[in-house]
Each structure stands twice: as structure tokens, then as C-alpha cells.
A and B are shown apart, each in its own frame.
Chain A
Amino acid sequence: MARARRNADSVSLQPVAGNGLLDRRLLLKSGMVFAGAMSTGIGGSIASAGAEPLAVESWSKSIGVPPPPYATPSPRAQIARIVSDTSRPGTMQARTPHHRLDGMITPAGLHFVVARAGAPDIDPDKHKLLIHGMVKQPLIFTLNDLMRYPMESHIRFLECGGNSAPMWSKTPIQANVQQLHGLLSCSEWTGVRLSTLLQEAGVDPKATWMIAEGADGITMQRSIPIAKAMDDAMIVFYQNGEPIMPWNGYPMRLLLPGYEGNMNVKWLRRLKLTDTPVMAINESRQYTLLLDSGKAWRFYYPQEVKSFITRPSPGMQMSSPGYYEISGVSYSGHGRISKVEVSADGGKSWGLAAMQGPVLPKALTRFRMPWNWSGQPVVLQSRATDEGGNVQPTRYQLIAERGEPRGTPPVGGFPMEHVNCISSWAVDAKGAVSHVYA
């Protein structure tokens, strides 16, 4: 105990990296240390806080609103997804407002959505799952049948393969974190192991693929390698403890932890075991990566190691120089995050960020970094590394791999897939935050 306190007391208030990044242990240790830091002059606004007489507000002198059967956040919080224009046919989208959230869990009502034909209105009493193809015995399950198998819960992120595609532009698109990186969410999912059901049907050892298909209007399908289906794949019914939202797959969806979002087929109705991929539109047209050579990658499954800063982030305005906490999210489709580094000088120097526990595999890990902003222009970046040693690449490294962006897409465009490069947020001398390439 005493030793811990000495260590805490010894945390240096000198920057650990350029432009005022401070030691993450300021956050990890007790509030005592933090108070000590504040008293040294960091965050000079404390002394200037006005001491106006306290008022007793109207809400302290009246009866409040009774709870509705299902509550939503205060209208005063003004938190909402950006949703796509539905006045014309096309994929319906909603993006998670990461710049307004904290922690690791995405509220179900703010989960991202990419739904080509909207959410089907499925009667759970009529919903069924068919397992057929290269199996000993084709089987049909009702939803009730499926929910009688042993259940498990896991916190896992889902990310669209096309998330962050606006980064693939000749010039930095001025949009906020929600628009740039909002096709990413993280939930607690509860359901049954897929391998249990596949074993019951008796998978032919020659089967190498599983076609998963939804019950929605366009009946979306994807081919899944059998190894993934037998590994950590699940059929899930609950999202953060409640029935899955209609747009996220009610009454059930496939969950393939770490794999690109659309493979986690929503409204799942059918699994067909085969020895070839079906070559669906969503695996040999959409979700392909066109390279300089004119050839394109397909079957790019894992969402690679990635992070981005959510606060401060583009569109925000810093109020004054002084103490701030830089905060963001990190994740990897390959496993746990092992470290996150933050730079305030465009990548010249880096300091280790504090990681908010629990640090789970294939889940969002919140990171935090104490920072004393001098008021000078800076460029903020974060760089994540996962337990497999995969390091988040720079934008220039991705370009070297795939070729220069060929144009400047609209914010909602998808000129590239699997864009996991480092994001750069510039803070100017007036405290305005914008998206830059650095």
C-alpha cells in the first residue's frame, strides 16, 4: 500500500510525449494524485471558476415525469444516429454517434445499421432456421427450439467492412467521428453456439463453406468458412440484455466475432453447408477492394486492428488551454488490444494511453490520455496494437498497399473497404478541431 502510494506520488507531471501529453498513470492511480496534478497548475481554470450564489431551480420545486414503459434518453441529451435518406431506393443506414458516447457498450438504439431493404417485420412464432446441404440430416428449428439450448453472453464489436471509407479520399473530408467512423458498435450478445446446432445436423467432413441467409426482403446471403462457423460463431437473440433491435436482426442473427459486419447475417433463416462459396453479390461485388492493378481483393474477413479519438474530434471546439482527457476507442478482429499510443505532434512522438478495463477480445476498449493543451496548434493521433502484434497502419502505409484514392467520395460513399488506418485530428490555435492527413 505504502509502496503503491510512493509510486503514485512519483508520477511525473512532465509530458511523456510532444505537445503536452501526460503520464497515463495520472488516470490509473487514485484521485489524490490527480488532485496533486491539478494543484500544480494544470488546468488553470479551477481558480477562475465563478462563485455565483446558488439558485433553486424549477425542477427542484415540482413533481417530475413518471417513467414510461420503455424509456429513451433525456431529450436534453440530444443524442441521435445520422440516418440515410430514405426518399429513394437503396441501402438504409444509421451511424453510431461515438463523439457523444463513453465506455465500451453501444446503446441498442444507437447501434449502426446497414440494411439494404430495411428491417423486416418478422413474426417470432413463424420464424424458423433451416440447416441443410452437406449434412447427415437436414433440420428445421423454431425460435422456441433454439432458445432452449445452453446460452452464452459475450461482449463483441461489429463493424461494417466499409466503415471509415471516407478516409479514402484525395483530400480530408470534413465530417465528424459519427460520419467518418460510425459504422461500428459494441454490444453484449446472448445466444447459442452455432457448433452445437451444426453437430446436431451432422456436417459432412467434405463441407468447407456455410452459406448464411437472412429472411429479409432481399434475403441477403454470405459464404462463411466452416472453420469460423465451428469456432466462435453464435446465433444470438439478445443485444445488451433485451431482444435484438429490428434493424440489428430481430428475432435472431448470426454473430461471427471479429468478422466484417455483413457476414453476421441478420434475420437469419438458413444455413447451407457446401464445398464452394456461393459468390453472392456481397462477397464478389460489394465488400471487395479494388487495387491499382485493376485486380480486386475479395474474402477479406477480419476487421483489422484500429482506433480513433472520439474526444476531441472534428467539429468540436476546445474552450481554452489547459487540462483535457483525450479519449477514444480501440479494437481488433484478431483478439484483445495490447496497447494504445497517442500522439499530439502528428506521430513524431507517442505516449502510452490508459486502457479502460475490462479489455476483452474482439470488443471495444476505451482508452484515455491526460493532456495539457498549451493553446498551440497540434495534430492528435491514436495507434492501437493487438495481442497478435498487429499494429494499426498509417494512411500512407495503406495507400502503399492498395494505391492512391482515385477521387473524393461523398461522406456516405464507399470507395474502399477495410480502412483501419490512423486518423489525424488537428486542433488549431482557436481550439477548433478538424480532420487532416498527417
Chain B
Amino acid sequence: MTYLAKPKFYHPALPKNELGYTHRDYEGSVSTLCAGCGHDSISGAIIQACFELSVEPHKVAKLSGIGCSSKTPTYFLGHSHGFNSVHGRMPSVLTGANLANRDLIYLGVSGDGDSASIGIGQFVHAIRRGVNMLYIVENNGVYGLTKGQFSATADRGSKSKRGAVNSDSSVDLVAMALQVGATFVARSFSGDKRQLVPLIKAAIEHRGAAFIDVISPCIAFNNHVGSTKSFDYVREHNIAVNRLDFITGRAPIHVDYAPGAVEIVEQHDGSRLALRKVAPEYDPHNRLSAMNYLQERAAAGEIVTGLLYVEHDSSDLHEHLNTVETPLNALDTEELCPGSQALDQINAGLR
């Protein structure tokens, strides 16, 4: 069987969010990925983030490309429309969808093959344009569905399961996102839900192009000794620059950290990010120093995670294009068609 529906039954005592939905209302069908796959943890984090944010599930459009990661939108938000497009081309489909209706939340899910190899052009350009979206790359350094070939994010010198050594240098999507103008950039680890869930919530509320690179070990093809994307390797080399708590604009500000250790970042929609700094010298509002810091730590063999960059006054593609507030897909004939009189005038000017 290729499609598994989840049973609808659930315990009546499950906690409900502001909309009266339980966690289960944000689930999708049963995952067909390998048991223990990092991607399933990310799906879980997306479910939890949307539940906690009280997002209306049908107001999310989830889009993906092709690959293991791109299958995951089936496994969360079952009441959302989904679009499993073509390999590496999710960003353009998402851009078009976003242009048609600015009122939905756009969640793009992709993988390292999808975004760093075949789709690197579309990845870069969607971010350049400031499409209002959360773009998640579930990054495992391999092609899973075709059984373990290196992807472009595999580190030079890392070993495949069959023992081959990767001689190509790797693409760092976080560095690229920073370079081409993403206004929210984070890296996390599928094994660290405490870090990942607040990042997803903050990114959803962010206006503009938000990018999260989530290292997500491939249990079948990239979780061995010699891999730099295995659970053990990432745990050992992960350095978080900060810890984030997400506070919606609706809730009163309540921060229980010691003063001085916490910075409150206000987002455009009134939501607030309580940022507890772990690396005191790290400034997440300075694109240049962020890029520098990342390169330095990478050279030292460390994987920097956390909220790496966020812009206060971010803008998005609709603002750049000066589009009307009403979603373009809701405009009818009267509003779109200039009519015969205008056409007569045009004709008169063409004689």
C-alpha cells in the first residue's frame, strides 16, 4: 500500500490551542520514510510549531520539490493544500503561489539535493526576491531515494556508506542565504526540537524570506563513522550561538531569563523573539559579522546553529511589487477587465 491514512481517533484530554484544535489536527498521513529518519522529527517540529502558534491549518500552503524531504509535506498539516512539484523547482512554484494569494502562510520544504544541486538557482532567486515564506532545507548530505549518492552539501573528505570519499567542496546554504539577502536565517538540527520549534515559529511570523537549514541525518545512508552529517557527528560539533523563545504579538511579554542575557527582538507583526545568547560575541543583526563568524567556525570544524540573522524592518516581494491588499486570486472580472470603453480609446490611439 502506498498511502496510509492515520486513524482519526484521539484522546479527549489532549490539550487544545486558541482555535480549539489539538496537536492531532495538524498531523498528516503516516510517514513512509525510514524509521528514525531525521525528516520525521522536523515534520513533528512543524506540527508542534503550527499547533502552538494556533495557525489555521488550511491557511498554510505547503510546497516541495522531489526527494525524501519533499515527500514530508504529506506527513503534516493534512488540512492544508500541498504541492509536490518538480525536482529543484519548488521555489518558483511557491513564488507564483505567493503572488496569487498573499494571505496564506507559505511553507517550502526541500532537501539538499533539491536546493543545493538541481535547484540552487531557484533557491537563490526566491530568496533574493524576498518571497514571504519559510524555506526549510532538510539537509542530510545524500540522495536518499536513489540510495546514497553524495549531494552538494556533503563536506569535502566525508565518507559515503560504501566508503567513497567526497572530493568536492560543499555548498553552505546558510552562507548563500545570507549572501543573497535572506532576512531571517537559522540553522538547526533535527535532533534538537527545543531549538527547532521556536525557530520555525519565529520564521513563520517573519515577513520576507526566512530560511532554516536543518541538519537531518539520513539513517539509511549517512549515519556512519566518517560522515559529517551523522547524529553523533552533529551532536559533537554543534555549537549553538543562542537559544530562542518565541512570543506571539498576542501574548504579554514574559521573559524569565536574567537581565542582560536576553535580547528581545520585535518582528514586523508584533511578535517578539526572546534571544538568549550563548556566544556573547555573536550579533544576529549584522549580516557581515554573521557571515564572518560562520566561516571562522566552519574552518574550525564546528557547526553553528541557532538564529543566525534576523532583520528588523524586513520587506517582501508584494511590497516591492506594490500589489493590492486583496489577494490577486480574489479579484473578479469587474476589477480586472478595463471594459470596452477603454478599448475603444486604445483603438483610437492606434490609427
Q: Is this pair of chains taken from one and the same complex?
A: no
A residues touching B (Cβ–Cβ < 8 Å)?
Answer: none
